[in-house]
Amino acid sequence: MKKRLLTVISLTMLVAGIVNAELNNPGGIGGVNSLRGASELEDTRPADDFKKYPRDQVLEADFVYQPPLIPHNIRGYEVSLNANKCLACHSWKNAPEMGATKVSVTHYVNRQDAVLADVSPRRYFCLQCHVPQASANPLIENDFERVDSLK
């Protein structure tokens, strides 16, 4: 009898919890409200249009030590453990011939400050820091101002 009563109480609490979850989370969206707005977790929204990458416009740095932006489209570029398309143009060997900016000397130094013959493994994946400059509106409004020395 006591065991049956505990089972009934447990089921009642479970149902109450489900009802409460539905009241506090209508539609089961998980309470997700992102920059894209509230959406069902299972829904897939249409992809945004491709961003335009203006080649003739070079954006200046906004803060000290900002990694330079990529002034061209990189669609189809492979940057993986086995290949790095960026280095085809930007390595010290190829940059003069390709008319590209050379990779910074800081990218050839490892954690022990030893200078390497090739790009350091910790600097090999360029797209972790460098992103294409695109004509895109900011996702949220902000009042960020450049450092005076960069104006």
Q: Is the pLDDT of residue 9 over 90?
A: no
Length of the chain as a residue count: 151
The Cα 84–Cα 103 span in angstroms is: 13
pLDDT tens per residue, range 74-100: 888 999 999 999 999 999 999 999 999
Of all residues in the chain, the percent with pLDDT exceeding 70 is 65
The Cα 133–Cα 56 span in angstroms is: 11
Taking alpha carbons only, the member of 52, 66, 48, 63 closest to residue 133 is 52
Selected residue with higher pLDDT from 115 and 62? 115
Q: Is the pLDDT of residue 4 over 70?
A: no
Other residues' Cβ atoms within 10 Å of the Cβ of residue 107:
20
Largest Cα span, the chain: 87
Here the tokens at position 99 are 């008319």
Task: Please tell me the predicted confidence (pLDDT) of residue 114.
Answer: 94
pTM beyond 0.85: no
Here the tokens at position 113 are 């400050």
HSE value, Cβ hemisphere, 13 Å, CA-based, for 138: 5
